[in-house]
């Protein structure tokens, strides 16, 4: 009897070891398994953090959901939030959601978009895009261009959206995507390098907003986080998005690092980030470059604050810091729209 149990345990150990080896290999040779895990982390139900304010604001906002825009890539839908009482086309904020390039959804913006449309009377267009590693860089930036073209070519949306007065914004990875698109529109050399002719004319982009965005991606090659989770996370999203296991030596990493790509023609910008598990140093470098170029910039950072302010802090409106960020964003939009 003892020999049978011993033999059974031996086979269990062999089987478990085999499974561990297979899983380890899978996570080593492809970004897909890790990207799937991160996707499960990000793709939770949408939470409304300040329900009373949201319900009141919702009464004054019209939402057109799941509008399909023309694109050769999947997940090509968008949501349009417009103020009910406006009869003329209004300034339009194009927003790109976050999710580490590998996850996320436009619906996560519903609370922010509804509040902002109600308070500023701009329109907000929240864009979905095909995430990595199913689609790699610069696919997501091109999908923003697809969405802009679609809106410009569709008369019924032109009645609500003033696309000669647009802003671009995003949170987390979406901020990098949105601001890269703005950089392409305002830098002819960069547009040529990206093989993406400008879709908007000079002066039509009134502002950009970056919430916790990785705007200077090249920094990660010189930094080694103490957090094992952050090292795993950054390696996964970079490998997934850039399509290169050796992404640290990839030219596309340099190309997508926006500090070197912006010019004095870049629009006024609002930028914020937390001081923990986020991209604060990249945001500070971007702010410094904007100041050097004499581009108006408003910022909210916590680099001199001991309190831990985490990634995407700005969407939890139960906190005073998120409320402060929202008020600054509202003032920024009102000023530059």
**40-69 per-position pLDDT tens digit:** 887 778 899 999 999 999 999 999 999 999
Domain count, the chain: 1
Residue 22, pLDDT above cutoff 90:
no
pTM greater than 0.85 (yes/no): yes
Residue 3 covered by a domain:
no
Indicate if the pLDDT at residue 313 is higher than 60.
yes
Model confidence band, residue 235 (pLDDT cutoffs 50, 70, 90)? very high
Query: Which band of pLDDT confidence, cut at 50, 70 and 90, is reported for residue 5?
Result: low
The helix-helix angle for 51-58 and 110-120 (nearest 10°) equals 60
Q: Has residue 25 got a pLDDT over 50? A: no
Any domain includes 332: yes
Band of residue 222 on the pLDDT scale cut at 50, 70, 90: confident
Residue 19 forms part of a structural domain: no
- CA angle 174/274/237 to nearest 5° reads 40
Higher pLDDT, 141 or 221: 141
Q: What domain range includes position 73?
A: 31-336
Domain assignment present for residue 15? The answer is: no
* Residues 46 and 107: beta-carbon distance below 8 Å: yes
Q: What is the CATH number for 152?
A: 3.40.50.1820
Q: Is residue 124 part of a domain?
A: yes
Helices 228-242 + 32-42 axis angle, to 10: 110
Q: Is residue 16 part of a domain?
A: no
Residue 174 has, within 13 A of its CA and on its CB side, a CA count of 24
């Amino acid at each position: 009897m003892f020999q049978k149990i011993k033999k059974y345990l031996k086979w269990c150990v062999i089987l478990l070891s085999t499974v561990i080896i297979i899983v380890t290999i899978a996570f080593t040779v492809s970004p897909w398994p890790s990207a799937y895990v991160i996707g499960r982390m990000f793709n939770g139900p949408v939470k409304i953090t300040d329900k009373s304010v949201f319900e009141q604001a919702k009464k004054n906002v019209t939402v057109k959901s799941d509008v399909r825009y023309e694109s050769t890539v999947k997940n090509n839908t968008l949501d349009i939030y417009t103020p009910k009482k406006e009869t003329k086309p209004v300034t339009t904020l194009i927003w790109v959601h976050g999710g580490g390039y590998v996850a996320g959804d436009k619906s996560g913006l519903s609370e922010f978009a509804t509040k902002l449309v109600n308070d500023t009377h701009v329109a907000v267009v929240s864009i979905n895009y095909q995430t990595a590693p199913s689609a790699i860089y610069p696919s997501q930036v091109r999908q923003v261009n697809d969405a802009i073209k679609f809106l410009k070519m569709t008369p019924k949306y032109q009645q609500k959206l003033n696309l000669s007065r647009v802003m671009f914004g995003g949170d987390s990875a979406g901020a990098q995507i949105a601001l890269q698109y703005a950089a392409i529109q305002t830098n002819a050399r960069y547009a040529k390098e990206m093989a993406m002719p400008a879709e908007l004319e000079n002066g039509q982009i009134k502002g950009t907003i970056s919430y916790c965005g990785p705007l200077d991606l090249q920094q990660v090659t010189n930094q080694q986080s103490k957090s094992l989770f952050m090292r795993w996370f950054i390696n996964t999203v970079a490998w997934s998005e850039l399509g290169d296991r050796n992404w640290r030596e990839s030219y596309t990493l340099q190309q997508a690092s926006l500090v070197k790509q912006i010019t004095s023609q870049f629009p006024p910008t609002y930028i914020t980030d937390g001081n923990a598990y986020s991209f604060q140093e990249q945001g500070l470098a971007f702010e410094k470059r904007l100041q050097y170029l004499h581009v108006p910039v408003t910022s909210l950072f916590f680099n001199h604050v001991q309190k831990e302010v985490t990634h995407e802090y700005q969407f939890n409106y139960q906190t005073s810091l998120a409320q402060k960020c929202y008020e600054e964003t509202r003032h920024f939009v009102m000023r530059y729209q």
